[in-house]
Amino acid sequence: MANLTLGLKNVRGLRFERLPAPFWVRVAIPFIAILLAFLLTSVLVLMAGANPLEAFYYLLIEPLTTRVGALEVLVKATPLILTGLAVLVAFAGGYFNIGAEGQFYAGAVAAAWLGVAFKGLPPLVAIPIILLAGFLAGALWALGPALLKVYFAVDEVVTTLLLNSVMVLGVSGLLTGPWQDPGGWARTPLISDALRLPRLAPPSRLRAGIIIGVVLMVALWFILNRTAFGLKLRAIGLGPKAARFMGIHVTRTLLTAALVSGAIAGLAGAAEILGLQGRLSSQTLELGYGYSGIVVAMLGGLTAFGVGAAALFIALVENGALSLSQALGVPQYLGDVVQATILLTMLASLLLTNYRLRWR
């Protein structure tokens, strides 16, 4: 047993022991991480000449003070919950899919293409097909790294990461080449309103994508916690060798998880195009929801409902950063810094789950 005892082996006192932490510590961890991140980033707020308390009011509370603002948080959370769930499925099995970014754009490309091609079709037929196409496009973009991982033992982190760059180059090539709009803009035509996801609370920009996110969240909770597949997947995540000895078909399970992960990321891209964006443009490539999905999944403690909560929180911070820059002139990139810091402090705080403070 490796205990952190500061060298005082036989002295009575408080010490950390390597034991699973009590339940309340596990619940407290995201809050500890968030608090720590705010303490660290308040240095930047001070540099920008603003009062940190006032800044965090704009970052965390101001967006929720109006109905429109609160709905806008849900708008922002829609792609985040989906990419967070995508990352969750893969990470639960220890498959480090860093490629949600590229898979998101694969789905976005499919939706931008079909959304225009299906013009005039009845929405009840067209919209499900477009979403399904996005789902499949994401899975297709995830297929290569998944096959290479399970059959050739090629590290998935590097391959999924590199394919993100390939996808971004490819989409830019499309938008500045065959798909360039006659006016010279790097964007596809706007999808007709009939084929967009329905608005939930007009005049707000919230669309039905959020419902897809919530349904998938519940479904994934069930799959990961209440089905044999979920149990197998999590067993592989804890240790592939042990899982194999238990008779789990590691290859098939990981392959499924990797493809489902890519598919959900693709669905996120399609839902974003049929939802908020309405078209694919070079600005779409700057959204970075695939990478944010990793932050969301980690902050959510790699649980489905955690992902939902984390997506709402990250969406709040992103929108809050905008209101912060408008109100106090603190650059809106503070939101990005806060997100990155939370990812790192969350990761570090997870160490606490392995220790228990004891008097001995």
Partner 1 sequence: MDLFLISVIASTLRVSTPLLFAALGETINEKAGILNLGIEGTMVFSAFIGFWAAKTSGSVELGLLAAVLAGLALGLLMGLLTVTLGLSQHVSGLGVTLLGTGLALFLFRLAFPDPAIPPKLDAPFPQLPILVGTPLEPVFSQFGLTYIAFALVPLCGWLLYRTGFGLNLRACGENPEAADTAGVAVYRIRYMALAIGGALMGAAGGFLSLAQLDSFTYGIVSGRGWVAIALVIFGNWKPGRVLIGALLFSVFQALQLRWQAQGVQLPYWFLLALPYLVTILALTLAGRNASYPAALLKPYKREG
**Interface residues with partner 1 (CB under 8 A)?**
2, 44, 47-48, 96, 98, 144, 148, 152-155, 157-159, 161-166, 168-170, 172-174, 177, 291, 294-295, 298, 331, 333-334, 336-337, 339-341, 343-344, 347-348, 351
CB of 248 to partner 1, least distance (A): 21
* The two structure tokens encoding residue 166: 């390939």
Tell me whether residue 41 or residue 275 sits nearer to partner 1 (CB atom).
41
CB of 54 to partner 1, least distance (A): 17
**Of residues 211, 50, 254, the one with CA closest to residue 219:** 211
**Of residues 168, 186, 345, 208, the one with CA closest to residue 279:** 186
Tell me whether residue 36 or residue 161 sits nearer to partner 1 (CB atom).
161
Tell me whether residue 78 or residue 345 sits nearer to partner 1 (CB atom).
345
Q: Are 344 and 41 contacting, i.e. CB atoms less than 8 angstroms apart? A: no
CB of 45 to partner 1, least distance (A): 10
Q: Are 95 and 147 contacting, i.e. CB atoms less than 8 angstroms apart? A: no
Tell me whether residue 68 or residue 347 sits nearer to partner 1 (CB atom).
347
CB of 352 to partner 1, least distance (A): 11
* The two structure tokens encoding residue 279: 């078209």
**Of residues 138, 36, 116, the one with CA closest to residue 280:** 116
CB of 125 to partner 1, least distance (A): 33
DSSP string, 266-294: HHHHHHHIIIIISS-BTTGGG--HHHHHH
Cα torsion 27, 32, 35, 41: sign: negative
Tell me whether residue 33 or residue 73 sits nearer to partner 1 (CB atom).
33
